[in-house]
Amino acid sequence: GQLTVFLVLTSYAYASSVTFLVGIQADELMRKGSRSRGGLFAGIRYVTGG
């Protein structure tokens, strides 16, 4: 009952937060990529250490 509702709402909030933060990071990488050579994938490799 109540525990299920709590878990569903908490999971929804967590997934929304992760999606929002990933979107912010992708936007920043695309902005940096447009100013430098290598583009988005170079930025992703830089962030992930690859």
**pLDDT at 30 exceeding the cut of 80:** yes
**pLDDT at 37 exceeding the cut of 80:** no
**What are the sequence ranges of the domains in the chain?**
21-50
DSSP, collapsed to helix, strand or coil, labels residue 37 as: coil
Mean pLDDT confidence for 6-15: 98
Q: CA torsion sign, 34 to 39 to 45 to 21?
A: positive
